[in-house]
Structure 1
């Protein structure tokens, strides 16, 4: 049993369909967009199942989740290493970026404030060259 299976239980047909949908694109997508993609492909997965599965996958670290500028959660399958995102606000394309200066700043702020076990996320929104 993998760590994902122990966290999420056995992989269901619905979870496999959602993971396949996530792997089919580089952009962050909302639960509604993923549900529409599944529906168009003929996969019978309820919208509430999509929401619950995406949240479980995000909690288990299997997908990245970010809140769009409109305040909606969106999801994408990402690499396992710590990274940040540069996101196109027009088409949703996302690029994983590293931020050594952000990492140094985060450590310094945490040390100055006597915090430990600190985590952070950073999303930068703009418009990609194609848009």
Structure 2
């Protein structure tokens, strides 16, 4: 791994949530890194291709990145408010994706599943009835 790619990866590992390339670039520059935005984009793409970072598309179509905590296939539960992310296994999703693919004659099935909600910390407290 190149030094710059490792520096981008280190920046992502210091944060829990998903970050845009611009956010990663800004943080790196703030800490004195001599790196261009194009280099950050290339590093993020290489890291994603190698399975070292997860990529999500936001509602407005922007790609955001997060260092993988696991090296096995997984899905994400993401808080819409704070961005907190939990990696989750989804065996039922795996079986469903394979079955749907076979049903329609597809092979080499891959998929991405992200589940969005509001985490307990960001949820308004529900008054108890009583």
TM-score range, shorter chain: 0.7 to 0.9
Corresponding position of 1:3: none
Count of residues in correspondence between the two structures: 121
Q: Which runs of 4+ in 1 moved over 4 A?
A: none
SS of 2:64's equivalent?
strand
Q: Which of 91, 98, 101 is the aligned partner of 2:92?
A: 101
Matched, 1:38 2:22: no
In structure 2, how many angstroms separate the alpha carbons of the residues matched to 1:97 and 1:12? Answer: 30
Whether the aligned pair in 1 keeps the contact of 2:9 and 2:47 (CA below 8 Å) is no
- Contact 1:26/1:94, CA 8 A, preserved across alignment: yes
C-alpha distance after superposition, 1:72-99 (max 9, x if no partner): 1011111110100011122212110111
Contact 2:5 2:47 in 1 (8 A): no
Distance in 2 between the 1:70 and 1:118 partners? 26
1:53-74 alpha-carbon deviations (Å, 9 max, x no partner): 1012112222111111221101
TM-score (ref. length: structure 1): 0.86
Name which one, 1 or 2, has greater alpha-carbon Rg: 2
SS in 1 for 2:87: strand
Q: Partners of 1:105 and 1:16 in 2: how far apart?
A: 36
Give the match for residue 24 of structure 1. 14
CA RMSD of aligned residues (A): 1.2
Aligned residue number for residue 42 of structure 2: 52
The structure that is helix-richer by fraction is 1
Q: Does 1:119 align with 2:105?
A: no
Residue 77 of structure 2 aligns to a residue in which SS?
Answer: strand
